Every structure is written in C-alpha cells, then in structure tokens.
Structure 1
Amino acid sequence: MRKVLLVLLVLVAVAVVAADRLGVRVAEDKIGEQVAAQYNLQQQPDVTIHGIPFLTQAIGGEYKHIEVAIGDWTEQGVTVTGVKVDMRGVDAPLSEVTKGSAANVTARTATASAVIPYDVIQKEAPKEVKRIGPKGDDLSVEMTGAVLGFQLNGTAVVEVKPTAKGIAITPVSVGSNGAAQIPLALVKRQLTWTVPVADLPVGSRISEITPTADGLRVAATAENVRLNDLQQQQK
C-alpha cells in the first residue's frame, strides 16, 4: 500500500507540474498577443513569466517578474535592436489574460532596454565622422574633412546624454594627426548631433546610456504602467 501511495503522489506531482508548465505557456502566448496588438508588431514577441509555481500567480492575478523580448523597434525612422521590457509587480487578472484583454493589466515598474548600433548613430552624424566606437563612458570618433578652412584629421572624444529630443552627442576633446590643432569650439559646432531616440516602449524617456562594443545600450523605466495605454504613450 505504501508503494501504491508513493506512486500516486508522484503521478499527482507530475500532473500538477505539467499543468503548471502548460498554463505558463498559454499565459505567455496571450501576453505576447496583447503586446503585439498594442505595438502593431509584425512578429509576436517572446514572453517569459518567472516564478514557480505559475498557477499560484495566475489564480491570484499577480506576477513578480515578466520579461518581453520585442526585438527591433523603430522610432522617428531610427531602428534600435534587442529591445526588451522587464516588468515587475504585474497585476494581470486571470479573466483578462484568458480572453486576450489588456484593459486591466498593469505593472508596478517596467524597464525597457535596447542597443543603438554604431552604424545607426553614424547615419545621423555629420559627414566628417568616419568611425565611432566606445571609449569608457564616452565615444571615440574618427574624423576627416574641413571645418571653416581647418583640416580635420584625427579623433575626438564625444559625450552622450539623453535629452527630450533624443541622444545628444557632443565633443569634449579633440586630437589631430600632425595637422594644426583645431579649437574645440569649432569642432563642437561641426560635430554635435542628436540621434532622435528619446523614448523606449514603456512611454518613458531614456535615462541610462552605456557604451558597449556593439553600440549604445539605453534604458528607460516607468512606474505604474498600464499595458493598454502603452501605444498612446508613444511619441
């Protein structure tokens, strides 16, 4: 009898786990459908609901951590890559999720992150900029050309800052390869530009910028986000 009970308990545990994993896949698919509809995405994003057991979270309608991998994202003609939205403290009533509605789905905080590739940044740069790469918290820019009769042939260090219009890129120092030293003020006048990406898909302005080998990693965080309102929050 003891062996029979043990087998039954194992079977029940397996069934519960199977139901739990099946439930999480269904919920992830439904949330992915909602996000795709809100953003008019051509491809449904990958959704990951963290935390075990899932069924306890689903019945209570409260999820500690949900990640949404959107992929590429375009704003004002500029495409960023690897867009992810990390939501914490998600309130998603089971009735809303099962019927595919986002009307009452909210998150305590939502942090979006993405990478702006250097070739995308260079497309927005003045023609004198020939190459862009990371240099600590700033960027290193190779430049050739002329500014008010001065020949440009060297490198400049530029800083990056988030603004209401996008990411402002401004020279902070300049060097030359044997040519006459050009005043920094002139370089700033010629080599200051803005990449028109100010917001990410949480309706909040970019607040963090980190240079990486692949591009600028940017992030934006919003609080008390209502999934159904995200499309209206976009600029």
Structure 2
Amino acid sequence: MRRVIIVLLVLVGLFVAADFGAAALAESVVSRQMRQQIGLRDDPSVRINGFPFLTQALTGRYGSVDVQANNITVAELEDLSVQAQLRDVDAPLSTVLGSGPKTLKVGEAEGSVRIPARDVEQLLNRNGAITLDDLRIDPVDEAGLKAAAEESDDTSLTSIDPDLAVRLTATTVLPLLGENEVSVIAQLSLDNGKARIVPRDVRFGGNALPTAVQRVVAEVFTVTVDPGSLPLQVTPTELTAESGALRVSGTARNLTIGGASTE
C-alpha cells in the first residue's frame, strides 16, 4: 500500500509539473501576442486562471486570462499600469502551442489604465502657481461628501455622485499662510477617454481660504489627464478614484486578437 501511495504521489507531482509547464508556455505565447496587440515595448505579465490548465487546453476554452503591464509612459505620464481581463477565451491547443499564426477569440474583455498619484502630482505642478508635495488620492463616499458639505456650508457637495468624487491631499506653501496640508474634494468626469478633475471644495489646514486664494488653488487642481487608449481598443466608459490612483476603464465584446505569426 505504501508503494502504491508513493507511486500516486509521484504521478500527481508529474501531472502538476506538466500542467504548470504547459500553462507557462501558453502564457508566454499569449504574452507575446498581447504585446503586439496593445503596442507595448515589453511582454506583459499573463496569467491563465483555473486549474488544471490541461483540461482547459484540451477543450480550447479558457474562463479568464489576466494581462498586466506596468511602468508605461504615455506623453507626460510616466508610471501608468495597464490591465486587461479576457473572459470566455477561445483558443484551440494547436493554435496556442503550434508554430502558425496565433489567433484568440474573446467573448468579453475588460481593460483599464491606472494613473498613479505621482503622475497626477507632476501634472498639477506644471500649473506653476504653487508646488504640491506627497499628493494622495482617495475616493469619497456619501458620508464624506455630507461631512464636507456641513463643514463648508455648501449643500451642493451632496449632489456629487460618490462614484465620481475624489479627495486630493498634498502639502504646499501658500504666501502669508505658510506650509500646511491642502485638501480638495473634486468631481471627476470622462471626456473622450480623458480624465477631468474639477475642484468643488478647497481646505487649507482644515480651514476655508480667502476667496482669491481659494480660486488660485482651485485652478492648480483643475486638470485634464490623458492616459492614452485602453488596451484592445476598449472604449473608456468609467472613471473612478481608488486609493493612490485614478482608473479609467471600459469593456468590449466579441474580439479577435492576433492573426499574424508571433515567430
């Protein structure tokens, strides 16, 4: 019995090793194809989800494939992250592992570009009126908007959709007021794939600013960010704030990826 158990364990180990090896090879093929499709300089990270891989490979159907590429430069932005999740992928084993053209059919693709706070800070500082340091980006929920409305006595803040609200916080120096933390609640909008930030409430050290100074600070925080196109020509439909970044995302259906040889 002990010998049988050992043999079974060896066979299981061999199967797992073969499964991971085949998956790694397929991921490498998909990575090269995605690099060409998205137009990247380097191969992105690709993960074919689900275990075992071989059962998916035999049917040529994959539930989901994750693709990610980091440190991408687009115009003035230097540290973008591009992500895509491919769902209901149709790729026969002969296509994935063969030497011919690589073509993948995708039922649905969700693509997004993540714009980190550091890139947003660089854009804001190009306005030149004041210099911002250590910019932080955070979402604002309904309770946060209500609290800000009560502090500022501006009930219009509660009309902002929390999904389109963002809090930008940084350290700066203002003339005659010294150094302190500036906090801005802004409204997000998406225009032709570009992220628009429009301040609605400005605080310095937790307090309101004189009207003239507030106008200057608000102008610094008013900016349009162009992250470039989404992967797989996905149409941008959503702009959201998350901890440390802005994210532009969208979905597309019934895609064909590739068709040319990756050799």
Matched-pair contact (CA < 8 Å) for 2:115–2:246: yes
SS in 2 for 1:206: coil
Question: 1:112-151 residue pairs with structure 2 within 5 A?
Answer: 112-125=111-124, 126-128=127-129, 130-131=131-132, 132-135=135-138, 136=140, 137-140=165-168
SS in 2 for 1:225: strand
Matched-pair contact (CA < 8 Å) for 1:31–1:100: no
Partner of 2:155: none
1:49 Cα deviation from its structure 2 partner: 0.9
CA distance in 1, matches of 2:189, 2:93: 41
Matched-pair contact (CA < 8 Å) for 2:131–2:173: yes
Matched-pair contact (CA < 8 Å) for 1:96–1:102: yes
- Residue 207 (1) aligns with residue 210 (2): no
The 1:44–1:61 alpha-carbon spacing in structure 2 relative to 1, beyond 3 Å, is same
Partner of 2:248: 218
1:223 Cα deviation from its structure 2 partner: 1.8
1:48 Cα deviation from its structure 2 partner: 1.0
1:6 Cα deviation from its structure 2 partner: 5.8
Question: 1:88-107 residue pairs with structure 2 within 5 A?
Answer: 88-99=87-98, 104-107=103-106
1:182 Cα deviation from its structure 2 partner: 3.8
CA distance in 2, matches of 1:168, 1:106: 34
Partner of 1:173: 201
1:167 Cα deviation from its structure 2 partner: 0.3
Normalised by the size of structure 2, how large is the TM-score? 0.68
Partner of 1:193: 223
Structure 2 portions without partners, runs of 5+: 141-164
The 1:14–1:182 alpha-carbon spacing in structure 2 relative to 1, beyond 3 Å, is same
1:88 Cα deviation from its structure 2 partner: 1.1
Matched-pair contact (CA < 8 Å) for 2:203–2:209: no
Structure having greater relative contact order (Cα 8 Å, sep ≥ 6): 2
Q: Which amino acid aligns with 1:173?
A: D
Partner of 2:51: 52
* CA root-mean-square deviation: 3.4
Higher helix share: 2
Worse overlay, 88-97 or 156-165: 156-165
Partner of 2:190: 162
Matched-pair contact (CA < 8 Å) for 2:137–2:241: yes
1:93 Cα deviation from its structure 2 partner: 1.9
Worse overlay, 57-66 or 95-104: 95-104
Q: Which amino acid aligns with 1:91?
A: D
Q: Which amino acid aligns with 2:252?
A: A
Question: 1:45-84 residue pairs with structure 2 within 5 A?
Answer: 45-84=44-83
1:100 Cα deviation from its structure 2 partner: 5.8
Q: Deviations over 1:34-79 (max 9, x none)?
A: 1223344332222111112211211211100111121233334433
Worse overlay, 200-209 or 90-99: 200-209
Worse overlay, 184-193 or 157-166: 184-193
The 1:121–1:207 alpha-carbon spacing in structure 2 relative to 1, beyond 3 Å, is same
The 1:200–1:3 alpha-carbon spacing in structure 2 relative to 1, beyond 3 Å, is same
1:3 Cα deviation from its structure 2 partner: 6.8
Normalised by the size of structure 1, how large is the TM-score? 0.75
Q: Which amino acid aligns with 2:116?
A: P
1:31 Cα deviation from its structure 2 partner: 0.9
CA distance in 1, matches of 2:71, 2:255: 21
Matched-pair contact (CA < 8 Å) for 1:34–1:101: no
The 1:182–1:64 alpha-carbon spacing in structure 2 relative to 1, beyond 3 Å, is same
Partner of 1:21: 20
CA distance in 1, matches of 2:60, 2:28: 16
Partner of 1:232: none
